[in-house]
Structure 1
Amino acid sequence: MFLLILGLALWIGAHLFKRIAPDHRASLGEKGKGMVALAIGAGLVLMILGYRGADYIAIWSPPAFLTHVNNLLMLISVYLFGVGSAKGRLAQIIRHPMLTGVKTWAFAHLLVNGDLASILLFGGILGWAVAEVVLINKAEPEWTPPAEIKPRGDVINIGISLVIYAVLAWVHTLFGLSVFG
């Protein structure tokens, strides 16, 4: 559990560094980007190792129907990740599509995982994403939606999202995780 918590602390700290200490981050210049990327990568590795190595400590037992809710939310999450790149109409409505995707991803996983390690991992990432949105909105209260719109951007994003969702479901099965119940 220690590795999981350390990984979360590194991940969250590195991501929030720019928002919490912008002057210090700016003073590091390009070298700072590498340091932040290294901390994020190390945090990710530690989170994975810590999660995979954590003892299963049941906190609650999710009902079976939540698997279907999770699957729908995961598809929506993957779609949200692509909204900014797709430059469709939704990019003009959703200010933080990637962070909204992360929040949806984390919430979906909290619905179907009732063990302590999952609650720490997915709850921690959900908390980070919420904090990131709050800090960004505080630092940059005015938001100008992207001017460029690709008329078929949202439709293309649906197709790409379905493929990515299928790949993610398949990868889960490689680790012995049944995505569809």
Structure 2
Amino acid sequence: MGYILLILGLALFMGSHWFKRLMPARRAAMGDPGKGLVALGILAGIVLMVIGYRSAAYVNVWFPPFFLIHVANLLMVIAFWLFALSVIQGTISARIRHKQLTATKTWAISHLLVNGDLASILLFGGLLGWAVGTVIMINKAEPTWERPANASLKNDGLAFVAGLAAFVVVAFIHTWLGYYPFPA
């Protein structure tokens, strides 16, 4: 049952996010109440993904090499930095159009490197596919991009510190939940 919930959660999460892009007229016709329905769909998708992932039977597909833990942690620091750059406009912000989606792709790849079980491959691979698909849809619908002005190198540093702080908090939460993210 876990795999079914996981796949349903992924489908609901993706469908809710892509609803505006795939059916813009229908989404526009829903007006402001449609925002709440989309948000509810996204939240329900996340809940189903978590329940499905945690209850899915363990099926090993491959054994990740130990050194990939270091690579994954480095990628996670970069992912949090990229996400912070979506709020704190730095010089890197002026070079990367889809900072949050790039952060999501980096996060997904990081987790795929260190988790060789089927549920992880479905979850993180599915979210990687969602992020790639979203970038493609946005770039097709809006081919031009206005780069942020007044980008500051100082803000790159601030975003890095904010991202590093978020990484530490999330690593603590992972440890608290029993998923130790650092090599022993």
Per the shorter chain, which TM-score range? over 0.9
Q: Alignment identity in percent?
A: 54
How does 1:39-50 map onto structure 2 within 5 Å?
39-50=41-52
**Counterpart secondary structure, 2:7:** helix
> Which residue of the partner structure matches residue 159 of structure 1?
161
1:1-181 matches, within 5 Å, as 1-181=3-183
Could you list the runs of 5+ residues in structure 1 that have no partner in the other structure? none
In 2, Cα distance between equivalents of 1:105 and 1:151: 24
Unaligned runs of 5+ in 2: none
Q: Hey, what's the Cα distance between the residues in 1 that align with 2:113 and 2:18?
A: 26
Tell me, in whole angstroms, the C-alpha distance in 2 between the residues paired with 1:84 and 1:62: 31
> Over aligned residues, Cα RMSD in angstroms?
0.8
Preserved contact between residue 86 and residue 150 of structure 1 (Cα < 8 Å): no
Report deviation, 1:149: 2.6
- Rounded to whole Å, the distance in 1 between the matches of 2:38 and 2:161 is 33
Distance 1:160 1:13, change over 3 A: same
CA contact (8 A) 1:172 1:179 kept: yes
Amino acid in structure 2 at the alignment position of 1:24: R
Report the CA distance between 1:150 and its aligned residue. Answer: 4.1
Provide TM-score, normalisation by structure 1.
Answer: 0.98
Number of equivalences: 181
